[in-house]
Chain A
């Protein structure tokens, strides 16, 4: 499948933790706050569940940017899950930049269940950044090549 340059829209994958960010995204909708339809939200039990392989696979399968989001430090439903995520993604972001991925394409945010405006703002912001950057051609699988 190829992607048409003219009709291209950013495709952003959000890994949202079940307890904070997912509920935050839900509240965004409930509060009728509009955010771009460029995101796909994937619910995970905890941000600590997000294996770096998930992110790599997403880039392979044609995602333009990945957002890793979870509870603020100290708020984790499982007490410490997000602290592990923080260490893991500090390393992973640097490694992805090191192999040539633009830093905007892999981002991480803490978004709580009450932060609906923040969710709206973050998604809008990333969406704009990716629109400016254009489709991601790096790490892509042959069948998703543009």
Chain B
């Protein structure tokens, strides 16, 4: 990946020198060897800071929202999952395609930061679970592509819903107890919301306690209200990037809810993979006369 880093820097430098974009969003080395952090580069000489290694896990697509009202273009580097996230933002009409310059990358899968910290430098560090299950490692929608546009890892044929199905087979009380056990420890820091590319409402009901929908009280009931509302809010738009789980400080398996919804949408309304097609209609933004009938 070292040689690609050089290509990355060169591309970013060219873009800035030619004035094709006002800013390039990429990654730079973080505080530790096992962390890479987002970098916002607007001077050609600063492009030397950019890197591309196996810890560039941050999804940069959502940062574009901060610059949508600024003049000029913003260039952004995207991996496969980031590309799907960006597509969702475009589908939601949160961004104008002509105001962004997308540089696609082929992602070999990112290494687990937490494991890296535990195992130490030099040991073989496993990939994130979401990267092992990833089916779209290459950027899907881009202006330039860096690296070879080919499959660089083994790709599973289908999404893995085994955890969801295991949970489904339990009795209602068992399911509820598991759910409570997970959300009891939620701090309601909203890191999952802040990092989620599908959570792009300008105003979030969880920021407006005066509306009466949600209080600041941290109890299981409020936490579950938050979890279920958020899951239903991102239904049909969750790209399965798993950033919510990574950002969660108390390790709540948030994707269990999101995956359940993805599985149901596939089963009820036909196969749908969020963010793989910018022109696709959102499953919950429309309907078919032939939808399954359960209302009776």
Contact = CB atoms under 8 A, between A and B. Distances in A.
B175 A139 contact: no
A137 B295 CA distance: 25
Contacts of B292: 90
A145 to B, nearest CB: 9
Interface in A90-107: 90-102
A65 to B, nearest CB: 14
B269 A87 contact: yes
A131 B223 CA distance: 28
A83 B291 contact: yes
Interface string A61-96: 000000000100100000010011011111111111
A90 B264 contact: yes
Nearest to B285: A84
Given A99-B175, A99-B176, A142-B221, A86 B268 contact: no
A98 B174 CA distance: 10
Contact of A142 (B177, B219, B291, B294): B219
Chain B at the A interface: mostly helix, strand, loop or mixed?
helix
B289 A73 contact: yes
B280 to A, nearest CB: 15
Interface stretch (B64-72, B100-108, B120-128, B224-232): B224-232
B261 interface: yes
A87 B283 contact: yes
A91 B228 CA distance: 12
B167 A98 contact: yes
A95 B291 contact: no
Interface in B19-61: none
Interface residues of B, number: 42
Contacts of B231: 95
Interface in A109-146: 109-110, 138-142
Contact of B228 (A90, A99, A110): A99
B189 to A, nearest CB: 21
Interface string B239-261: 00000000000000000010011
Q: Is the interface of A mostly helix, strand, loop or mixed?
A: helix
A93 B179 CA distance: 16
Contacts of B294: 86, 89-90, 93, 108
Contacts of B257: 95, 98-99
Interface stretch (A8-16, A32-40, A49-57): A49-57
B173 interface: yes
Contacts of A93: 294
B293 A86 contact: yes
Given A53-B213, A98-B257, 13 more contacts: A73-B293, A83-B291, A86-B287, A88-B284, A90-B264, A91-B232, A95-B228, A95-B261, A99-B179, A99-B224, A100-B174, A139-B221, A142-B221
24 contacts: A52-B228, A53-B205, A53-B229, A70-B295, A73-B293, A83-B287, A83-B291, A84-B284, A86-B293, A86-B294, A88-B284, A91-B235, A91-B264, A94-B260, A94-B264, A95-B232, A95-B260, A99-B179, A100-B179, A101-B172, A108-B295, A109-B295, A138-B176, A139-B225
Interface of A: 52-53, 56-57, 60, 70, 73, 80, 83-84, 86-102, 108-110, 138-142
Q: Can you list the 4 inter-chain pairs with the closest CB atoms, starting with the nearest?
A: A100-B176, A100-B175, A83-B287, A99-B179
